[in-house]
Amino acid sequence: AQSVTQLGSHVSVSEGALVLLRCNYSSSVPPYLFWYVQYPNQGLQLLLKYTTGATLVKGINGFEAEFKKSETSFHLTKPSAHMSDAAEYFCAVSAGTASKLTFGTGTRLQVTL
């Protein structure tokens, strides 16, 4: 079975500050890991993904995430928050057979002036 835990349902940062959204996963096989972003009243769009190879992956809008197998983590970071980053962020895992994608419960990012 596979699962995802996102720590913190709400995160608030100042504009220009570091963004850190936490994601831990559970999987019995090597996982594919994803971060998606959802802006108000819209569907989800892919920020970045890890499949195999380089453990530090870069995505759109200056976001990046690092796959740490020993910590079963895939935390999302951005060095400097922008007001336009305010949205809900979802971590997800796909772990082999059955090809199902399992989502975390999401983290709402608020960016303040």
Partner 1 sequence: NAGVTQTPKFQVLKTGQSMTLQCAQDMNHEYMSWYRQDPGMGLRLIHYSVGAGITDQGEVPNGYNVSRSTTEDFPLRLLSAAPSQTSVYFCASSSIAGGYTDTQYFGPGTRLTVL
Binding site for partner 1 (CB under 8 A): 9, 32, 34, 42-46, 49, 51, 90, 94-106
Residue closer to partner 1 by CB (options 17, 103) is 103
Collapsed DSSP state (helix, strand, coil) of residue 66: strand
Distance CA 60, CA 46 (A): 8
Taking a C-beta distance cutoff of 8 angstroms, is the pair 35, 90 a contact? yes
The least CB distance from residue 93 to partner 1, in Å, is 10
The least CB distance from residue 103 to partner 1, in Å, is 4
Residue closer to partner 1 by CB (options 24, 94) is 94
CB atoms within 10 A of CB 21: 24
